[in-house]
Amino acid sequence: MSYPATDELSSVERAFMINATEIDILPGVWGDLDEPLRSGPASDLTSLLMPLVDRGWIEVCRVIPWTAPDGGAGFQPGPPIPMQDLPALLADAENWEYPQSGDWLGCLTLVLTEAGRGIPR
């Protein structure tokens, strides 16, 4: 299978790939988007993210707790969310907003798959 270089991806595809590289929570993608998507509804983004998931380049996970080797508390992506659950989760505008509590546990995050990491940068 051949993969495109990131300069062959659309700007929104690059934004999602950046977000997944950073393992940022889903709302972090807004800062990497160009207009008019940046100020548009989150529902417009679901149809743009799903092809990257379908290609096997990105997984959508929830943030779960993690304990560092030194015993410190942290966060990490949990297991991938099943494909059949993604449309409903991504249709929920709340998942595209930073949590008011500031607590990222349970938030959706994007993660590059092995195939996604293989795309030349």
pLDDT digits (tens, 9 = 90+) for 60-80: 999 999 888 888 888 889 999
**Residues in contact with 10: Cβ distance below 8 Å, sequence separation at least 6, in sequence order:** none
pLDDT value of position 2: 47
Please name the residue ranges forming H helices in 1-119. Answer: 11-22, 43-54, 86-91, 114-117
pLDDT digits (tens, 9 = 90+) for 69-121: 888 888 889 999 999 999 999 999 999 999 988 888 899 999 999 998 888 76
